[in-house]
Structure 1
Amino acid sequence: MHAHIRRLRTGIAIAAAAAISLGACSSSSPDAASSSSGAVKLTFHSWLPTQDQWPNLVAAFEKENPGITIDFTREEDFAGYKTKLDNEILAAEVPDIYGIQVGASFDDYAQYAMPVKDYASDWIGKVNAESVKQTTTAKGEAAAVPILNAGMEFYVYNKTLLDKLGLSLPTSYSQLVATSKAARAAGSSPFAMGAADSWHDTDFFVWLSTQYGDGNDAYKAASGTGKWNTDNLVAAATAWQKLFTDGVFQDSATTTTTYPSARDDYFLAGKSIAFPTGSWHVGAALSTSPEVPGSAVAKDKIGMAVFPTVGPHDAGVTSGVDFALAVSSTLTGAKKDAAAKFVQFMAVGAGQQQWVNTLQGFPVANGMSIQLSDGESALAKSSVDLVTTALAASTHPRKLTSSKQSLENDLGIVLQNVAGGADPAKELASLN
């Protein structure tokens, strides 16, 4: 699968350019999805919003913009979504609007996107400038509009289960190990990690690497200005390995996906005390969470905390744009205008406020803040405050920037090998 993805994306720049050109020539009209009555139908493909969030968002948009409808196709898994998008690009079927994430592969997908200045020049200034920088290509072109910010590494915890076991939240590595061992001894699973996902392994490792040296070795290695097997990165990879050998993560973590397995089969099933994840999952602590009701933890108290520092320095959480929207470069006329309205709605309009209120991510719109209902518990409110404060203090990016588009997958495989017992130094050296 990994090799297939790498070969496929290598050929995108050549094959898709020709395919899109042919597709454009064969189209009978640039606004083929626009009817004579002025109605416009847009295709939108992504891994977000979730199936619980989308109905309310699209209903609000279509009410605000009569005559525009959105045909949404969603993939549950981000890796699966990228594979689908690759195939759509190769088939000259680029969606009118598509989700995109910053990081090593951003520029590859951005080349099929319309420059932001061509449809958002009158309102893009309302979006946080630092976030816009992250959706700008290496050539200096803003190619997508940031929608949500997020950070790593946090964990959702079951306070009810911890209290039942007589355990408290760990604040150091030694406490982390002791808490995990105590949970195991009591018949519960420790921290349910989805280490089968390269994206999660890489995100976790980037966060972990900031705790060694000046915290910048991974970013230098990704950019090609440094080596992957520096003393600091080898130390970070060794610490990563110990999380498995010391029993902090559950057995078979490297064959467990974050979604749905670690979340559903461990945490929501009431089997694990905690679930390592990103800031977007703080919504599980709210009474409005769509995931918790009906699960084994429906009546339990849920909170979120920052994962304890593992290395010698507390560098805080990593953060950055977690989700952005790109508009196909092929759009013109009514479809282009309609797509611009949808992106604006999601970035700085009612959609932004509505979505961040679900805690899927944190605002990119200047001056916007999350609005919680008065009925939320003290634990829920303190969890949101903790995440908000941690993200505001973040000084390191969550995602690595590299000219090597397969880096996240490659690093993820290396980390899975290390978790399985491989030599950290040799594995990291293979990335040089």
Structure 2
Amino acid sequence: MKKLVLSTIAALGALATALPAAAQELTFWSWRQEDKAQYEKFIDAFEAKNPGITVKFEAFEATNYNTILSTALAGGSGPDVMFARAYGGLETVASGGYLLPLDKDNVPALANFAPAALAAESMRSDKTTYAVPFASQTMLVIYNKDVFEKNGISEPQTWDELVQASEKLKAAGVMPFANGTATAWQNEVVVGGIASTIMGRAFYDDLMSGKADFTDKRYVEALTKLKEISKYFPDGFIGLDYASAQQLFSSGMAGMFVGGSYELSNLKKQNPDIKLGIFATPGLKAEDEKLVAQYFDGGYAVNAKTANKEAALKFVNFLASQEFGQMFADGLNNISAVPGVTFKNELLGEVAELNKHSIPYIMLVHFRYGEPSGSVLLQSEIQKLLSDKATPEEVGKNLTTGLANWYAPFKK
């Protein structure tokens, strides 16, 4: 009998060793509903290499995502892994203790990420990183190559050449720019895409060091030029929303569109035949450094209270890998934040080159950490500027005064 019991125990032990570990299902939340099919392909690749772990991707409407996520986390639940906003949006969640700190010990690949990318997903107070950066976005000018070629226009190298190109398109019955300002956040986009070169890198450096504020003549001049070029926006552009502006450009009715690098894929979906080009808005002189505005667009974070910590970290390490970064760039036609990624898409390669001459997308990167938000202020003030209800000088003063409510360097 004793031998039988021992042999039975040994057999059960062998069987237990042979059986796979209990399956773990991770929930993965996102605001990118439009990317659901592609993320499911990414997840398939992860699951194939990690049997026993499954990932359920759930996407929510973008404008409600922050509220849904914060409510779930505050209630002690929420997803195992989640899309997290960057900059001020990250701090809102991370400061509540809802996210697992990430470092080179639990996610070794983070050691290779660019410092600016990591800063976007870190608390300013203690530099703790809480998410793996997933993409960067760049504000620039997108143009229709066929429209430019038909009208004998080359990429402008000076501000005067940009004005001349706009005049030429207008004379030919083509809208020079498709942009409108009825969708508030688009007002911030046109500042980043048009005014960055004019305000210049030296202004940005002085702003960050506390030597300048938004009343600085360099910033005021940049807004003056933005106001000048807005006469080439569509008639009634003050009431033109984002979706309509996209359609004007993708249909070929307009030659240029000021937007983010995220537009490239969207515009091709709207019109697969359109031939796109991009450029950084030029300065007053040809030798001026042409600048684009860049920011990092969120990251992948782990719930601090997840019951599946080991599996969640395995998944996040996959999301931090060059293998995933390459799939992300190829599958979503977007600029992955993962170091070492190459771009099969020619336009993405051009964006990566333009990013070598960039300044941060100022309000999003630096001034969304208090109330009133710099982005909210800027969007409102640019609407006033472009509808002749404020001067560039007044806009600069109002931005500085508004931010002085919480931004110490502006307090006098």
- Do the two structures share a fold, i.e. TM-score over 0.5? yes
* Distance apart, 1:116 and its partner CA: 1.0
Aligned match for 2:365, one of 373, 393, 400: 400
* Distance apart, 1:257 and its partner CA: 4.3
SS of 1:427 mapped into structure 2: helix
1:250 aligns with 2:213: no
Q: Which runs of 5+ in 2 are unaligned?
A: 1-20, 402-412
* Distance apart, 1:104 and its partner CA: 3.9
| Residue equivalent to 1:331 | 306
Q: Distance in 1 between matches of 2:248 and 2:333?
A: 21
CA distance 1:83–1:198, shift in 2 (3 Å): farther
* Distance apart, 1:141 and its partner CA: 0.9
Q: Distance in 2 between matches of 1:195 and 1:219?
A: 28
* Distance apart, 1:354 and its partner CA: 0.7
* Distance apart, 1:170 and its partner CA: 3.1
| Residue equivalent to 2:181 | 195
| Residue equivalent to 1:262 | 245
Alignment of 1:312-351 (within 5 A): 313-332=288-307, 334=308, 336-351=309-324
| Residue equivalent to 2:149 | 163
Alignment of 1:111-126 (within 5 A): 111=95, 112-117=98-103, 120-126=106-112
Task: Summarize deviations over 1:101-138 as a string: whole Å, max 9, x none.
Answer: 43343322332322113983433224334422332211
* Distance apart, 1:311 and its partner CA: 5.2
Q: Distance in 1 between matches of 2:212 and 2:252?
A: 43
Task: Summarize deviations over 1:228-248 as a string: whole Å, max 9, x none.
Answer: 22222222222222221x31x
| Residue equivalent to 1:97 | 81
SS of 2:306 mapped into structure 1: coil
Q: Distance in 2 between matches of 1:208 and 1:158?
A: 17
CA distance 1:208–1:181, shift in 2 (3 Å): closer
Q: Distance in 2 between matches of 1:275 and 1:104?
A: 28
How many residue pairs get matched? Answer: 370
1:154 aligns with 2:141: yes
Q: Distance in 2 between matches of 1:177 and 1:358?
A: 36
Q: Distance in 2 between matches of 1:51 and 1:252?
A: 36
Paired amino acid for 1:327: V
1:369 aligns with 2:336: no
Task: Summarize deviations over 1:47-79 as a string: whole Å, max 9, x none.
Answer: 37634533422332333334312232143x5x5
| Residue equivalent to 1:228 | 214
CA distance 1:73–1:266, shift in 2 (3 Å): same
Moved more, 220-229 or 274-283: 220-229
Q: Distance in 1 between matches of 2:177 and 2:83?
A: 30
Task: Summarize deviations over 1:321-363 as a string: whole Å, max 9, x none.
Answer: 223222222224x2x2232233222221532111112464323
Contact 2:30 2:83 in 1 (8 A): yes
| Residue equivalent to 1:390 | 354
| Residue equivalent to 2:50 | 65
SS of 1:304 mapped into structure 2: strand
Q: Once the two structures are aligned, what percentage of the paired residues are identical?
A: 20
Q: Distance in 2 between matches of 1:180 and 1:83?
A: 42
| Residue equivalent to 1:414 | 381
| Residue equivalent to 2:408 | none
| Residue equivalent to 2:29 | 44
CA distance 1:409–1:195, shift in 2 (3 Å): same
Q: Distance in 2 between matches of 1:357 and 1:186?
A: 37
Q: Distance in 1 between matches of 2:66 and 2:235?
A: 29
Q: Distance in 1 between matches of 2:103 and 2:377?
A: 34
The answer to which structure has the higher helix fraction is 2
Q: Distance in 2 between matches of 1:192 and 1:114?
A: 43
* Distance apart, 1:255 and its partner CA: 3.9
CA distance 1:192–1:344, shift in 2 (3 Å): farther
Q: Which runs of 5+ in 1 are unaligned?
A: 1-35, 285-290, 373-379
Q: Distance in 2 between matches of 1:327 and 1:307?
A: 36
Moved more, 337-346 or 141-150: 337-346
Paired amino acid for 1:401: H
1:429 aligns with 2:397: yes
1:278 aligns with 2:245: no
TM-score scaled by length of structure 2? 0.76
Contact 2:187 2:383 in 1 (8 A): yes
Q: Distance in 2 between matches of 1:360 and 1:41?
A: 26
Paired amino acid for 1:173: W
| Residue equivalent to 2:17 | none
Aligned match for 2:268, one of 287, 292, 311: 292
Q: Distance in 1 between matches of 2:60 and 2:101?
A: 24
